[in-house]
Structure 1
Amino acid sequence: MSAVREFGRALTQPFGAPAGTVQTYIEVPFKLGDGKYFPDGLIRVFRGQREWTALVEVKTGGNELQAEQLERYLDIAREQNFDALITISNQIPPVPGQHPTAVDKRKLRKVALHHLPWSEVLTAAVMQKEYRGVADPDQAWVLGELIRYLEHPKSGALEFSDMGANWVSLRDSVGAGTVRATDVAAADVAGRFDALVRFAGLKLGRRLGTEIVPALSRKDLAEPATRTQALVTQLVATGAMTAGLRIPGAVGTLFITADVRAAKITCHVDVDAPRDGRPTTRVNWLVRQLKHAPETVRLESFAAYTRGPGNTELLRAVRENPALLVGDAAKELRVFRVAANSSAGTKRGTGRGSFIESVLSAVDDFYEQVIQNLKPWMQAPPRLRTNEEVTIEPVSPALVSTAISSQDGPQPPAGEEQPGKA
């Protein structure tokens, strides 16, 4: 972070640090009461008279952050008038900005607590080097070495690799129809599903060079427990969980639905239909953009002022007959839904046949085959007509007026007689 200026700024500015010089230290000793403690790191950023300082605690592999240790470091930061405590681990909170470890909120009155998953650190490094750029060639090489290190399996910076100990029991309960809203297993799996979708967004964002964030409301971001409970309610009622990703420049939000009961993953995106043209013309506009999509993609159309499901058919059939998506020709088509199904794995870990791998593959495939090829409809601007296109229709004799007022020509100057009048 101190060697590559752009990378240091990319990680610290979201936490409130100024865009200044970054200084970093490791294992700085601090006294607290009768004990002596060594946080893993300390970051200090200077810009003019402004100074921002944060302690850093790091965990690798399967090691998790401990509340007691974090609260101790928060006390140290408060005594030293530091601004924040930053934690880095493989734990991925379901909601951005949420911390994976619950601490005494009274200790957060003067010191902020931030968390960075290792996958997010890797994403920031890749985006800075490959897309945003590093001015100094030597610094770019250093950042490349960090990326190479973090991507190594033995670095301790692991990808999302486990749906948790409750996955198997929850999967069986959903299949049997015995899952309840009060089940601890349901809340645990719901939180991990949101974390998995967030990880899928980070992974896809590294390939695209853009920041992909979960599609969450302000209430969900402010109250993560409410979001988890909503997923649990959906799981109990339908056996499925739904989350979304906002991709900059995409035609719409990418939604992922994991049907645990049916062992199926569904990705879909909603596309606004053109605002002019016949219904079949609007359908053809969508079909032309899906020429490289699998023929098993499902299309659904929704008309204005209607409720319930729309007209649904597979892409291969709509290619042959666009009218299949048109119900009542008198009603205007407003929205299309493009969806793709795939099998969901059952294993809790990673690898072939795992639930995690099936979700990651479904997201990547749907973006590559569908979303990146879709563009929103834009109304054509009005065209200027050339002189050749402007025609003057001859006046019909029946339309010529015989009224005296219509025969009047220009008025003569004052004092002169008008010809033809006494």
Structure 2
Amino acid sequence: MAEQSWHEARLIPTSGINGAEEQERRATSALLAVLGAVKEFNRALLKPLGAPAGTVECYIEVPFMLGEKKVFPDGLIRVSRGAKAWTALVEVKTGSNELATEQLENYLDVAREQGFDALLTISNEIPAIAGQHPTKLDKRKLRKVELHHLSWSQVLAEAVMQKEFRGIADPDQAWILGELIRYLEHTRSGALEFDDMGESWTGVRDAVATATLRATDKNVATVVSRFDALLRFTSLSLGRRLGTEVVPILSRKEMADPALRAAALTQQLAGAGQLSGTIRIPDTAGHLVITADLRAGQVTCHVDIDAPREGRPTTRVNWLIRQLKNAPDSTRIECMTAHSRGSSSAELLRAVRENPALLVHDPAREIRSFRVALTSPLGTKRGRGRGAFIDSVLTAADSFYANVLGDLKTWSAAPPKLRPETPTVPDEREPTQPVSLSSTDYSSQDGPDQAEAGDHQDGSAIEGVN
């Protein structure tokens, strides 16, 4: 038999998974076992939840009595350091299964009775805003127990970044973490990517196309929430491959009150037929702004970048063009000048490459900044695959970073140069003016010719004395 048909032994196999219950049990056991084994990974995942650095113990399906009934949380994590311990119950869902309110509230009651610190939920649900929980719960039950949520996409992204970029000290532990990554990336694991815009998508999309959508329509809130979840998934996807933390940007008011963000998106969708959001990628020239225009059927990614603070207008334009060597000809460049609202000029990159002066309408006006944008077709389907809204947004963000944003660098002025404190030794020449009419000492205000003349005159005076 050919070796090509042999199956390599895996630490966490995907074979034999029958049904959602077995899928959840295996995913829970695999994740908690790796958390207990790989120190760097458990610190990266548990530290933001409030867990101290210490010895990690993980258990699955721990039974507890709640009144007269017995409940079985999917897992329990205990981190011990000296006499102190941090304990969290864990509830896991895989596939399309969603977290249940009654079940979570029961576990919150158990955690409160047992004196545990937190309840951690893990599922494929991605909240619209980081720190927000996807399930509505009685807030009174959160007075003594903290509630945290991780999506499987976030768990996978954290595992990849830790192994591939931050590093694992022990080679065996690195291999173990790699096996978890391999398992979670398999379709049968139940750790799904963001793959659905929701049941309300089709109706809202069609209403936008016919300009009949109203901000008060009940389905708008669901679509708006799913779009913000898509932005978070886009950030996680980019961060996983870049090895850095990529996050959507929200204002302080929106972070404090998520309803403000939802209201702004609702008005934008009902009024202009657009959904937009901003993503921050560390060490880039600017923030990545994604705008999905449902009416025009286009998705646009753009970045705003400050122009150099010196040089002629065409020099500043050329500074930008040189950095866009990998950008497609269809890239749009907008030019913003001082004391003007909006862009003063806009051209496609193919034209600007041939004639940079096209962006300079008034040489007397100072160019302050540029906007570089790339537009592509927007999918309409609610799921994943060809012609899908989700895939078109993900592809647009990836392409824009690879061809535009990743090559851009901010301008910085050249460092000042030191002026020489003493003049260079000149050749012997006859003095051009009497010694009495010129200072023989070098000054910082003297040019090279004056310095040379001063040296010659000084030498001539000495010869005269001799």
TM-score, with length taken from structure 2: 0.83
Q: Secondary structure at the match of 1:74?
A: helix
Q: Distance in 1 between matches of 2:410 and 2:282?
A: 13
Deviations 1:229-254 (A, max 9, x none): 11010011100011011000011100
1:160–1:196 contact (8 Å) kept in structure 2: yes
Are residues 389 and 255 of structure 1, via their aligned partners in 2, closer, same or farther at CA, if it must alter by over 3 Å?
farther
Q: Distance in 2 between matches of 1:309 and 1:319?
A: 19
Alpha-carbon distance, 1:262 to partner: 1.1
Name the aligned partner's letter for residue 44 of structure 1. R
Name the aligned partner's letter for residue 123 of structure 1. A
Q: Over aligned residue pairs, what C-alpha RMSD do you find?
A: 1.8
Matched, 1:326 2:360: yes
Q: Distance in 2 between matches of 1:214 and 1:88?
A: 21
Q: Distance in 1 between matches of 2:79 and 2:346?
A: 56
1:149–1:155 contact (8 Å) kept in structure 2: yes
Alpha-carbon distance, 1:132 to partner: 0.8
Mapping of residues 5-404 of structure 1, within 5 Å: 5-386=39-420
Q: Secondary structure at the match of 2:36?
A: coil
Deviations 1:185-226 (A, max 9, x none): 111111111111110110111111011000111221221121
Name the aligned partner's letter for residue 19 of structure 1. A
Identity across the alignment (%): 65
Q: Secondary structure at the match of 1:323?
A: helix
Q: Distance in 2 between matches of 1:382 and 1:396?
A: 34
Q: Secondary structure at the match of 2:188?
A: coil
Name the aligned partner's letter for residue 396 of structure 2. A
Listed as ranges, the gaps of 5+ residues in structure 2 are 1-34, 439-466
Structure 1 residue ranges, 4+ long, deviating more than 4 angstroms after superposition: 386-391, 394-397
Deviations 1:335-358 (A, max 9, x none): 100000000111100011101110
Q: Distance in 2 between matches of 1:16 and 1:55?
A: 14
Deviations 1:298-331 (A, max 9, x none): 0001112211333100001111111221232222
Q: Distance in 2 between matches of 1:389 and 1:238?
A: 68
Alpha-carbon distance, 1:400 to partner: 5.2
Alpha-carbon distance, 1:90 to partner: 0.2
Q: Secondary structure at the match of 2:190?
A: coil
Number of residue pairs matched by the alignment: 399
1:18–1:50 contact (8 Å) kept in structure 2: no
1:94–1:195 contact (8 Å) kept in structure 2: yes
Q: Distance in 2 between matches of 1:199 and 1:39?
A: 27
Alpha-carbon distance, 1:94 to partner: 1.1
Name the aligned partner's letter for residue 54 of structure 2. G
Name the aligned partner's letter for residue 372 of structure 1. G
Q: Secondary structure at the match of 1:2?
A: helix
Q: Distance in 1 between matches of 2:343 and 2:220?
A: 28
Q: Distance in 2 between matches of 1:237 and 1:173?
A: 12
Alpha-carbon distance, 1:280 to partner: 0.8
Are residues 390 and 171 of structure 1, via their aligned partners in 2, closer, same or farther at CA, if it must alter by over 3 Å?
farther
Larger displacement relative to structure 2 (304-313 or 194-203):
304-313
Are residues 390 and 163 of structure 1, via their aligned partners in 2, closer, same or farther at CA, if it must alter by over 3 Å?
farther
Q: Secondary structure at the match of 2:103?
A: helix
Q: Distance in 2 between matches of 1:321 and 1:281?
A: 12
Name the aligned partner's letter for residue 417 of structure 2. R
Name the aligned partner's letter for residue 130 of structure 1. E
Are residues 237 and 395 of structure 1, via their aligned partners in 2, closer, same or farther at CA, if it must alter by over 3 Å?
farther
Q: Distance in 2 between matches of 1:198 and 1:11?
A: 17
Q: Distance in 2 between matches of 1:390 and 1:342?
A: 64
Alpha-carbon distance, 1:27 to partner: 0.7
Alpha-carbon distance, 1:4 to partner: 0.8
Q: Distance in 2 between matches of 1:282 and 1:389?
A: 36
The match for 1:411 is none
2:333–2:372 contact (8 Å) kept in structure 1: yes
Alpha-carbon distance, 1:130 to partner: 0.6
Deviations 1:376-403 (A, max 9, x none): 0011001124567899xx9989x959xx
Deviations 1:119-153 (A, max 9, x none): 00000100111111111111111100000000001
Name the aligned partner's letter for residue 157 of structure 1. A
Q: Secondary structure at the match of 1:302?
A: strand
Q: Distance in 1 between matches of 2:162 and 2:55?
A: 17
Q: Distance in 2 between matches of 1:350 and 1:135?
A: 38
Listed as ranges, the gaps of 5+ residues in structure 1 are 402-422
Alpha-carbon distance, 1:81 to partner: 1.1
1:190–1:231 contact (8 Å) kept in structure 2: yes
2:55–2:80 contact (8 Å) kept in structure 1: yes
The match for 1:409 is none
Q: Distance in 2 between matches of 1:388 and 1:275?
A: 32
